Structures are given as C-alpha cells and as structure tokens.
Structure 1
Amino acid sequence: MRDFSQAPFLVIWEVTQACDLACKHCRASARPDRDPGELSLEEARATLRQIKDFGDPLLVFTGGDPLKRPDLFELLRESVALGLRTTVTPSATPLLTEDAVSRIQDCGVSRMAVSLDGADAAAHDSFRQVAGSYDRTMAALRHAARIGLETQINTTVTRHNMGSLDRIAQVVGEEKARLWSVFFLVVTGRASLADDLTAEEYEQVFEYLYQTSLTASFDIKTTEAQHYRRYVAQRRKAQGGGAGPRMAGAPAGIIQRQAGINDGKGFLFISHTGEIFPSGFLEVSAGNVRRTPLQQAYCDSGLFRVLRNSDALVGKCGGCEYRNLCGGSRSRAFALTGDYLESDPRCSYVPASAA
C-alpha cells in the first residue's frame, strides 16, 4: 500500500464556487456570482506551481462551475504545461457549448467529467433544479466522443436515484464514458439527511456496483464510500481471491489504485479562496495557500498527520481489520458526529475484534 505522507495522489481544486445550477445536494451551496475573495490569476498560477512541487498528482479543476472563471482555459493550459495530469468538471449550463468542450481538449486535459444524477431529463433536471441540464450533459458527452476527448460521468447516490442506478449505468455505457465515478452523500452544504441512504442500503448499492463492474465497458470508482473497498475485499476473500496486492479482476484494479486513500490521506482539497482542506466535504482548514505552503499543510499539519494515522481512529473503525484499506469516510464521520476520527455511521460492518 502506498505511503501518502509526502504527497497526495489526488488534488481537487475548487477554482470558483460560482455556478448557474442549484443542485439539491451541492456541497458548495454554489451561487451564480463569483466570490470576490477567489484566488487571483497570479495566485492561481502560484498554486499550480505548489501542486507540481508534490510531483505528479492527479489534478481536478472543479467548482461550482469552473467555466465561470474567464481565465479557466489559461489555467488548464498552464497545468498541462507543468506536466500535471489534468481533468476538469464543468457544469451542464449554457456555458458548456461545443466550442467550450473543444477548447478543453485543445488545452491538453486528459479527461472531462460531467454529472448525471438521473437516467432521463425529468429525473436529472429535477435534481439539478435547472431545465435543460440533462440535454446539455448529453450534448457535451457526445461532442467529446466525436472529437476524441475522454470523459467520465459523476453520479451522486441519494434516495431519489438509488432505484435507477441500472438505467444511469446504461447511459454511461452508451455514451462511452471511461469511468463512472459514484459519489455517496455527505450531509454538507445543501445536502439533506433525509436524502441519504441507510448503512444497509449502502451495502445494497455496493453489491450492485460490484456486479456491474464485472462486465461493464467502463471503470467504476467510489467517492466517500471508502467501505466499498472493504466490501470488495470481503467478496474476493469469500471467492478465494484474497485481498492482497495481486488482486486481479475488474473491481480489484480500481480498488488497488484507491487502496488507503482517504480524506487528508492521499487526498487534498483547495477551496476557491485558497483554504487547504482534507476534502471538500471536510471543511476543517490546515491553512491557506496565500499564507501556508501547500506541502507544509499537507505533510506537517496536525490535522493531515492525524488523518493519515489509522491508529488514531476511534469506535469500530479504530478496531477494524480493514482500517488501512478503508478507514471509513472521515468527512461523513465529521458531518454526522462532529468528530472526524469517529466511525463512519453509514458502515454496517462489525469488525472481527467486536464480533
């Protein structure tokens, strides 16, 4: 398992919180207008150089809607020129034109991600609360396919769409997306506790994702469902495949790449105003890029160091034999208990030590 003490595997950069959608689950509680406290172009360029100092992390430009920054394409080009593996997640608004998709490709980014939270326009647009969002998502995916820009589809699982995941997965395949990134709700921003699944329903979704991953034409990864790794390891162990570094098979490859990654552990989030968080869903700051070197915050801050120490976990996560592979969602623990070292309340597994 990789050592994430010196550098993250993944950096998510919220370049703006401005967005013209009003999604029911929005972590950022995004709004139409840009925050005057956003990092300036020069500050953003300096931040890119600091990210590059980590080596070669995967960098995701997100928001809000990144297209609300007029200097987005300039920043994308600079990120690619620095040698960073660069992706971007625009929102499906009138700003996401064919020309915008083509410009994203021209910048040299490796992948564009768009969100799909319903299998048809009625379901998706209700979730995003803006008519036409579904059609714009489909148009962007199809134009990207025509010009050869790799895509991924992000879906947030809630009570509203749990029953239609099979239909959403069908769209992912039909639109030739390379990856289906499945997010599990953390009750922050506009997200409602009533929209979240129970721990038992999480396991049902895990079973669906596992079975789908065995035959799908696309990869599947999860976000804020670290215990999906535990689920896959259990399934493979039961089938005699083990859970070690030589795991083979469709779900195992993704699990191997994600092994051990958690909020603050292989994962770093930079807010639109430069705050350095372990995750966008765990808004506890270790400093600000305007004042604190990024490497110092990630490598040396007490916050990030304790989040990387699985022995610091409490409750059943602390005694779980899967704590290094999984570790539970630190963001969800914080959102639901107020303690980011507590057990993930949406995990139904009983560790061997507690059985």
Structure 2
Amino acid sequence: MFRISQYMREIAEAEHTGRYPIPAPRLRQQPGKDAGVAAGQQPGPVVIWNLIRRCNLTCKHCYALSADHEYAGELSWNEVVTVMDDLKAFRVPVLILSGGEPLMRPDIFDIAHRARAMGFYTGLSTNGTLIDAPMADRIAATGFDYVGISLDGLRETHDKFRRLEGAFDRSLAAVRLLRARGVKVGLRYTMTALNAHDFAPLLGLMRTEQVDKFYFSHLNYAGRGNIHRGQDAQHLATREALDLLFARAWDAACQCLDEEYVTGNNDADGPYLLQWVQARFPRWADALRERLVAWGGNSSGVNVANIDNLGHVHPDTMWWHHTIGDLRQRPFSQIWSDTNEPLMAGLKAFPRPVQGRCASCQHFALCGGNTRTRAQQLTGNPWAEDPGCYLTDEEIGAMAGSDADRLALTPFRKVHILQQGANNV
C-alpha cells in the first residue's frame, strides 16, 4: 500500500516550517539490509485473511472468483484459533478479514472479537450490501479499526461491475450507517477502462459523505481481474488519475483535513509522486526520495501475506494461483520463513531478480520491481518487467525509444502456471 497522504503531509509541513520532518523508521523489511536484526525482533507481515469464499456478488474483477454457494474445506473455528495464536506469536500486527463476503461467515464476529482482544489491528473488507442498521450496530460494537467498502463507480457503473442492481445504493447506505456510528470507513476503488470516468465523481462523493479514506487500486491480473485484463486502464489514463489523486491529497494536507488517500497494486506510484514533487517542490525531492527508498515498494512475500479460505498461504491476495504452504500441514510462521520455495526466495531477495526494463530502471530502489503477478500472468515469468508500469523510458532512465520493446498488454487467453514445484496450483 502506498500512503500518499503521509508524504503529502510531510511536504506540507516542510513548506510550513522550512524543514523536512524527522525520518520515520523504515517501513519495509528488506532481508539484505536487515541481516543484523534478530528474526524475533522483526514484525510479521500484514495478513489479509480470506475467511470465506462465498459471496453474494460476482464482481468482474474479483481475484477470488467467488460466487454465492458454499465452498467445502474451509477452516473451522478451532483451526482459525490455532492460526491466530501462531500469527500473534509471529508478531503479525494487522489482520484484514476478507472474503468472498466475510459477513456471510457465521462466526465472523467471534473471530473479530478474538482478534481485537489479542491486540491485532483488525480491519474488515466488505462489499457493504449486507450491512443494515442491526449489522452496523454489531460492526460498531465489535470495534473494528477500519472497514473498507468497495465502490467501483457511481450507481450505473457500480451495479454493472457488481452484477447486481441496487448494489450501489446498498453499499452507500452501509457507509452512512457506519459513519453515523463512529466507525472509520474507507472507499475501495479499482480502476479499469470501463469505470475510469467515475473516478473524479467518487472523490467528490467521498468528501460529501465525509468518508475517512480512499483506496485506489490498480487492476491486478488475478481471478476475474486477469480475465478482464484487456480492459485495464491505459497508461495515460492511469497517469491522469494519479495526477487527480495527488492534487486531492495535497489539498487535504494543506487544509489539514482528516482524509487518507492510498493506492495499491502498482508501485510505480512512488516514483511518479517523486516526479510530482520535483516539479512543484524541488527542494524537498531528495528528502522524499529517502522516504521512498525506505518504503521500498512492493511488499508481496515480505510485509504482506494472504491466507485463503482453505488455509493455503500466498505471497499476497493476487497470488491465489500459487500456494506456498498449507496451514493444516505447517504453521504460518514456518511457511513464511521458508525460502526454499522459489517464488518466496525471489520475493524476499534484496534486490529482487527482476528482468527487462525493471532491472535497469533508475527507480528500482523505490518500487522494488513493482507487481510480479502481472508479469507472471502475461509471460509465465514472475521476474519479467511489469506491463502495468506507466512510466516512460525517459522517466526510468532508459534509452529513448525503448518503450517500443515493452511487453504488450494482451487479452486473456489462459492463466500461466509456474512450474516450480508441487506447491504450485
């Protein structure tokens, strides 16, 4: 996750005081640099936990390919408890409870109560359509630290994406119900060529509804998002959207508004923000670059992990087609620490063994090679250049005209499967 608002507030403070704020601790574990730190002193990753695959919607860009029916073999309450105990001992700081639609799991509030009691920062990722007043009361009483609700556009666009008429009205009603109960709420938006026109209106809706957070997700090629990758927003549209998002986050920082703007699934956002600052506040560019190097870019397999509904562990939520371990066979702490698995060895390497234009990019230290899933789904090679990078050859320090040799975004035909061992599915 790229925290735009954090950096905008730092720039605003620097403009006001004439001095850049004192550097924060490094945000990303980088194995090559952290070798002198005892493993027990390092925090574990943020865990996004898909506790249930069933969902009342069949969204076009769903990475889980969920549908409204039961899925056999999901983790039981007792198994969930065992996993939670191991996660806590492994110093995992954050649990994001997701699905499918997590509110369809009967014991979701028992799980959330236990997570809160154990001291996890506990988030809920939901489509919001099941949240009426009584459900909002239960969510508020549980004490979730954050609830993210997905909106893919205004009414017509959102309902088309979610394949349910009335989905927008129900999700927006959920936002209002939770806000009225003092719950921190965020909007989650994934941009494609089919809904880019609604991005600016959604930002306006966020401010009108006094929503706390806006999460802008670039399309990643997983699940239905891979099937629909031919509808991914083109690079120019992506840049225009980021320009608008940066402007909104800067406005919020200057007005000291309590709004958070973040992005995910495209770590080129870091270098692009650096360019934005260089053009407007050049005296703070070097300090910001230090911050972005400390951030380190893509965290898959390092600071972000995923557990699916069957107890399979993945480097992040977009790697469901690649399993690195089974919690019914080994605890998470052992799976996550094992670098004998080839993909995890590469993700945890510093630097990562990326190829193509990513390997020679002058911003590699900032983005970490960007999102490996897109490269793997398009080419079968997880270390190929990321086709989702929207920076030009000049911007990355490459030879002028090298863009002509870039990977072309092709329509979906089949999912490439890594041939690296029995764990791959």
Query: Do structure 1's residue 292 and structure 2's residue 327 form an aligned pair?
Result: no
Show the counterpart of 1:328. Answer: 370
User: Residues 256 and 214 of structure 1: is their aligned pair in 2 closer, same or farther, counting only changes over 3 Å?
Assistant: farther
Q: Which residue of 2 aligns with 1:188?
A: 222
Residue 141 in structure 1 maps to residue 149 in structure 2? no
Match of 2:313 among 259, 271, 276: 276
> Could you tell me which amino acid in structure 2 is paired with residue 228 of structure 1?
D
Distance 1:354 1:294 in 2: 44
Tell me the amino acid that sits aligned with residue 108 of structure 2.
L
SS of residue in 1 equivalent to 2:365:
coil
* Counterpart residue number, 1:124: 158
State the AA in 2 paired with 1:274.
G
Deviation at residue 87 of structure 1 after TM alignment: 0.5
Say if 2:204 is the partner of 1:178: no
1:27 maps onto 2:68 in alignment: no
- Counterpart position of 2:124: 88
Give the TM-score normalised by the residue count of structure 1: 0.91
Residues in 2 aligned to 1:300 and 1:265: alpha-carbon distance in whole angstroms: 12
Of all paired residues, the percent bearing the same amino acid is 27
Q: CA separation in 2, counterparts of 1:297 and 1:136?
A: 39
Encode CA deviations 1:196-219: one digit per residue, 9 max, x unaligned.
022333222222221221113421
Give yes or no for the alignment of 1:156 onto 2:190: yes
| Alpha-carbon RMSD | 2.2
Change in Cα spacing, 1:352 to 1:307, as seen in structure 2 (3 Å) is same
SS class of match (2:140) = helix
Q: Is residue 60 of structure 1 aligned with residue 86 of structure 2?
A: no
Give the 3 Å change call, closer, same or farther, for CA 241–29 of structure 1 in structure 2: farther
Moved over 6 A (4+): none
Q: Is the 8 A contact 2:297 2:366 kept in 1?
A: yes
Give the secondary-structure state (helix, strand or coil) at the position aligned to 1:188: coil
> Is 2:272 the partner of 1:237?
no
Q: Which amino acid aligns with 1:149?
A: V
1:289 and 1:105, CA in 2 relative to 1: closer, same or farther beyond 3 A?
same
Distance 1:50 1:179 in 2: 30
Whether the 8 Å contact between 2:293 and 2:366 is mirrored in structure 1 is no
Residues 197-249 of structure 1: CA distance to partner in whole angstroms, max 9, x if unpaired?
223332222222212211134211111011111101222233314455x549x
> Which position in structure 2 is the counterpart of 1:305?
345
Gapped regions of structure 1 (runs ≥ 5): none
Residue 172 (structure 1) shift: 1.2
Q: Which residue of 2 aligns with 1:352?
A: 397
Evaluate the alpha carbon distance shift between residue 270 and residue 211 of structure 1 in structure 2; reply closer, same or farther with a 3 A threshold: same
Aligned length, in residue pairs? 348
Change (3 A) 1:36 1:142: same
CA deviations over 1:297-331 (Å, ceiling 9, x no partner):
22223332311323411111122222232121112
Aligned partners of 2:305 and 2:87: how far apart in 1? 10
Write the distance in 1 (CA, Å) between the matches of 2:366 and 2:317.
21
How far apart are residue 193 of structure 1 and its match? Answer: 2.1
- Quickly say closer, same or farther: Cα 1:256–1:74, change in 2 above 3 A: farther
Tell me the equivalent position of 1:219: 260
- Give the alignment partner of residue 206 of structure 1, picking from 227, 238, 242: 242
Q: Which residue of 2 aligns with 1:314?
A: 355
Structure 2 residue 297 is the aligned partner of structure 1 residue 260? yes
* 8 Å CA contact 1:156, 1:185 repeated in 2: yes
Tell me what 1:39 maps to: 75
Q: Which runs of 5+ in 2 are unaligned?
A: 1-25, 32-41, 401-425
